């Protein structure tokens, strides 16, 4: 009966996991093989050969145990995910400790001083049970969350350990060998394994827990201490039972101490490596492997001190990749990352170990090197610039050539400067290089320092200047007619006179207004004031058909309510929409999205004219221009200025004028006319309108009225009523 029932349970153990869809099969085949060996061990009565002290059942049982040990070890490795030397050492130490404890407490009394090999075979059973139980417990810890199938396995192994202890004690002490009643309890061991194998949770025995699912580090450490130290203490308290007991105990204790020593060594090495890795991650850029910004400042401070003590200068090169955004937008951020990694590998490979290299952030890099003067720093910048001549592979089948803008800052040996200040100087020089063009380098000098301080002062005061309405307008006439003697309108230009800074150039405050978010406020002021002044000049000069040309920035066109802003400015001044001409650069038509086009079309439908400014220097295609209702094109002054200096300039200017007219645009303005020769050339080419210093420099409305004997009272302060103008009188 025992053999039949146990065989049925073992068949369930073999078949049930496969029916539950356990994976991977290569691991469960080991468990299947172990179960087959256990099944064969049941037929000890029919087949009972022996090999010395080992019976048939001993051979098959120990073979099954070996397979189950391998199975639990493979599951533990599978659940752990990656190779971990501490896992093997912990498992070996716990198993050794469990074997030592079982041997000392249970096996030693069985020996009773005897040295019979058969007795030793009986004593091995509980020791192997302890090994299986330790492996099962280790697997349960690695699984994290409780698994019912694992609970059945551990319960079955505990029962197996107890039954083997009793059975071994009975077999050793009794002349008749093992007792049938005790042997019958093995049936419950097979039942427990069958319950585990058939439970729905059995596939989860090979499940890898999520990283944050459960941490068993503390439990492993506690188990390691309890299951290794305790057996050693017990072994020293229990008397030795013969020379076999002595050899076994000494071997197990030596093995256990050796494993604990190795475990401690591995742990210390792991801690040291973890500390090193943590320091590396804290001081290096994750993408490129170069020093990060914080560590770069620390190293630079030390190099400033060391280089000054050695009588050498410290050069800082600030690199920024030109058009890096284009790479990310066109081929994706993966291509941009590949480019940055390539640059990060080229610089140290070609500059050598001496320079300090760091990634400042984004596509910006910093090179720090000790030099003997400015000439050597410039030579270093040229060398770095040459590294970028070789194309970079950004994708499997695509390369790209990138150019750097480089700023150079130098700290002399006797100069007191912080690392942040020196890098800031190089950053300012880099932006100056980027403004001047691609692939350039600029040295931070006294002139650039002055302009940088001026820029900082302007940035600090521009917001307050807008709140105090410190800005004003000057108007430059646009001429037409047979001899360009008729004013057909003015271009409104913003000016700023600061009590402390003096006259601030638009080339300085307009980019800063865009950078610091004031451009919409400034643009609305210019638009509103230009409409008011046009209404006044129309009324007083009795010129009902003159217009006002106003420049519009990209940020203004991206305002959701910009159309309403224009309408309010026209309505408050009492002007019709066709009196206003909005000027946009052709570059804006390329760089901005469909929102800009929608805004321009809406304004044109409302009656406002659209003018393309600085035509001939941007990137807009003819098809792009033809998609918009363009009323006027202003030809860039660069093309006009070359007339008289270059023999081909007049022919090229004529080609541009003819090109614009071929698009159906009759309003063409030649900008920057300053000499009579330029005027004659433009007239000969048939350009209908003209603008430049030859016809007067930009003037305020007050100055134009004063030239006609009129005085303007508080133009900026008095609101203009719709349909009329007040506040002016004859002198």
Q: Which residues make Cβ contacts (< 8 Å) with residue 602, sequence separation at least 6?
A: 563
Q: Which residues make Cβ contacts (< 8 Å) with residue 309, sequence separation at least 6?
A: none
Residue 39: predicted pLDDT: 86
Give the Cα separation of 697 and 673 in Å (integer). Answer: 11
Residue 426: predicted pLDDT: 94
- Reported as a single tens digit per residue, the pLDDT across 81-128 is 554 566 666 667 766 776 676 667 655 665 554 444 556 666 677 777
Rg, Å, the chain Cα set: 45
Is the separation of the CB atoms in 336 and 328 below 8 Å?
Answer: yes
Strand pairing class (404-411; 313-321): antiparallel
| Neighbour tally for 470: CB within 10 Å | 16
Is the separation of the CB atoms in 189 and 163 below 8 Å?
Answer: yes
> What is the average pLDDT score of the chain?
82
**Which has the minimum average pLDDT: 3-17, 89-103, 200-214, 636-650?**
89-103
The strand ranges marked E within 87-238 are none
| Segment 255-273 mean pLDDT | 80
Name the band, by pLDDT with cuts 50, 70 and 90, for residue 330.
Answer: confident
| Segment 185-206 mean pLDDT | 92
Which has more confidence, 170 or 286?
Answer: 286
Residue 110: predicted pLDDT: 56
Residues 530, 536, 537, 539, Cα dihedral to 10°? 140
Residue 645: predicted pLDDT: 75
Give the Cα separation of 726 and 715 in Å (integer). Answer: 9
Distances (CA, A) of 242 to 101, 239, 249, 345: 17, 9, 11, 68
As a whole-number percent, the residues of the chain with pLDDT over 70 amount to 81
Residue with the two structure tokens 């188990």: 223
Give the Cα separation of 327 and 209 in Å (integer). Answer: 40
pTM more than 0.85: no
Structure token pair of residue 281: 């991650």
Q: What three-state secondary structure class fits 336?
A: helix
Which among 308, 460, 321 is positioned nearest to 385, based on CA atoms? 321
Tell me the range of 346-360, 558-572, 638-652 where mean pLDDT is highest: 558-572
Which among 677, 643, 646, 675 is positioned nearest to 657, based on CA atoms? 643
Instruction: Please list, residue by residue across 558-574, b when 16 or more beta carbons sit within 10 angstroms of its beta carbon and e when fewer do.
Output: eeeebbebbeebbebbb
Give the Cα separation of 702 and 712 in Å (integer). Answer: 6
Tell me the range of 111-125, 655-669, 699-713 where mean pLDDT is highest: 655-669
Q: What three-state secondary structure class fits 618?
A: coil
Distances (CA, A) of 74 to 30, 62, 69, 77, 255: 9, 18, 9, 5, 23
Give the Cα separation of 1 and 416 in Å (integer). Answer: 97
Residue with the two structure tokens 């075979």: 121
Please tell me whether the peptide bond between 24 and the residue prior to it is cis, using omega within 30 degrees of 0: yes
Give the Cα separation of 520 and 510 in Å (integer). Answer: 11
Name the band, by pLDDT with cuts 50, 70 and 90, for residue 720.
Answer: very low
Q: Looking at the predicted structure, is the pLDDT value of residue 469 above 80?
A: yes
Tell me the range of 63-72, 105-114, 408-417 where mean pLDDT is highest: 408-417
Distances (CA, A) of 309 to 305, 353, 367: 6, 21, 20
Name the band, by pLDDT with cuts 50, 70 and 90, for residue 17.
Answer: very high
| Segment 591-600 mean pLDDT | 75
Q: What three-state secondary structure class fits 635?
A: strand
Helix H segments across 576-632? Answer: 586-591, 594-605, 622-626
DSSP string, 24-76: -HHHHHHHHHHHHHHHHHTTTTT---EETTEEHHHHHHHHHHHHHHHHHHHHH
Residue 48: predicted pLDDT: 56
Q: Is 242 exposed, middle or buried (0-12, 13-18, 19+ CB in 10 A)?
A: middle
Measured in residues, the chain has a length of: 731
Structure token pair of residue 703: 């100055």
């Amino acid at each position: 009966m025992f053999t039949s029932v146990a065989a049925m349970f073992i068949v369930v153990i073999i078949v049930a996991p496969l029916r539950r869809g356990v994976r991977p099969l290569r691991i469960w085949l080991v468990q299947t093989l172990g179960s087959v060996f256990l099944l064969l061990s049941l037929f000890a009565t029919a087949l009972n050969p022996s090999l010395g002290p080992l019976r048939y059942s001993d051979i098959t049982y120990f073979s099954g145990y070996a397979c189950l040990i391998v199975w639990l070890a493979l599951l533990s490795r599978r659940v752990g995910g990656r190779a971990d030397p501490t896992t093997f050492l912990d498992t070996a130490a716990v198993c050794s400790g469990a074997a030592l404890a079982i041997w000392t407490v249970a096996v030693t009394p069985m020996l009773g001083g005897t040295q019979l090999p058969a007795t030793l075979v009986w004593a091995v059973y509980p020791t192997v049970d302890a090994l299986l139980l330790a492996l099962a417990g280790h697997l349960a810890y690695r699984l994290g969350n409780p698994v019912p199938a694992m609970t059945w396995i551990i319960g079955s192994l505990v029962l197996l350990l107890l039954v083997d202890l009793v059975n071994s004690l009975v077999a050793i002490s009794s002349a008749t060998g093992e007792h049938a009643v005790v042997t019958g309890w093995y049936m419950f061991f097979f039942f427990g394994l069958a319950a585990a194998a058939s439970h729905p949770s059995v596939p989860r025995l090979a499940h890898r827990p999520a990283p944050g699912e459960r941490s068993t580090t503390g439990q492993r450490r506690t188990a390691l201490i309890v299951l290794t130290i305790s057996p050693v203490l017990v072994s020293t308290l229990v008397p030795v039972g013969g020379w076999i007991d002595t050899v076994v105990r000494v071997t197990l204790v030596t093995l256990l101490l050796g494993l604990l020593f190795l475990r401690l060594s591995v742990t210390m090495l792991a801690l040291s490596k973890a500390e090193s890795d943590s320091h590396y991650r804290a001081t290096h850029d994750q993408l490129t492997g170069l020093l990060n910004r914080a560590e770069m400042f620390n190293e630079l401070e030390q190099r400033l001190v060391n280089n000054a003590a050695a009588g050498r200068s410290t050069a800082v090169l600030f690199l920024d990749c030109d058009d890096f955004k284009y790479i990310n937008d066109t081929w994706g951020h993966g291509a941009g990352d590949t480019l940055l990694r390539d640059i990060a590998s080229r610089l140290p490979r070609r500059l050598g170990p001496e320079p300090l290299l760091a990634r400042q952030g984004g596509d910006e890099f910093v090179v720090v090197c000790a030099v003997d003067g400015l000439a050597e720093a410039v030579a270093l910048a040229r060398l770095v610039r040459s590294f970028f001549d070789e194309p970079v592979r950004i994708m499997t089948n695509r390369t790209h050539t990138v150019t750097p803008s480089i700023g150079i800052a130098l700290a002399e040996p006797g100069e007191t400067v912080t690392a942040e200040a020196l890098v800031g100087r190089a950053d300012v020089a880099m932006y100056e290089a980027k403004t001047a063009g691609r692939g350039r380098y600029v040295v931070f000098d006294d002139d650039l320092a002055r302009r940088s301080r001026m820029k900082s002062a302007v940035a600090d005061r521009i917001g307050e200047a807008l709140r105090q309405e410190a800005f004003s307008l000057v108007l430059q006439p646009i001429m037409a007619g047979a001899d360009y003697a008729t004013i057909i309108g003015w271009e409104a230009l913003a000016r700023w006179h600061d009590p402390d800074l003096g006259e601030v150039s638009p080339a300085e405050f307009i980019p800063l207004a865009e950078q610091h978010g004031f451009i919409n406020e400034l643009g609305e002021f210019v638009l509103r004031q230009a409409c008011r002044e046009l209404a006044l000049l129309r009324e007083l000069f009795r010129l009902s058909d003159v217009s006002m040309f106003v420049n519009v920035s990209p940020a203004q066109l991206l305002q959701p309510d910009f159309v309403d802003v224009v309408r309010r400015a026209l309505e408050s001044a009492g002007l019709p929409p066709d009196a206003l001409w909005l000027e946009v650069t052709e570059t804006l038509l390329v760089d901005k999205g469909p929102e800009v086009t929608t805004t321009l079309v809406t304004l044109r439908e409302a009656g406002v004219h659209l003018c393309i400014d600085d035509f001939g220097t941007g990137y807009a295609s003819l098809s792009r221009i033809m998609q918009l209702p363009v009323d006027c094109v202003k030809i860039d002054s660069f093309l006009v200025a070359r007339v008289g200096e270059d023999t081909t300039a007049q022919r090229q200017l004529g080609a541009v004028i003819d090109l614009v007219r071929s698009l159906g645009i009759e309003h063409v303005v030649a900008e920057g006319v300053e000499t009579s020769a330029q005027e004659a050339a433009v007239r000969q080419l048939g350009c209908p309108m003209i603008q430049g210093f030859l016809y007067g420099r930009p003037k305020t409305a007050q100055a134009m009225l004063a030239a006609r004997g009129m005085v303007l009272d508080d133009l900026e302060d008095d609101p203009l009523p719709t349909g009329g103008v007040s506040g002016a009188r004859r002198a």
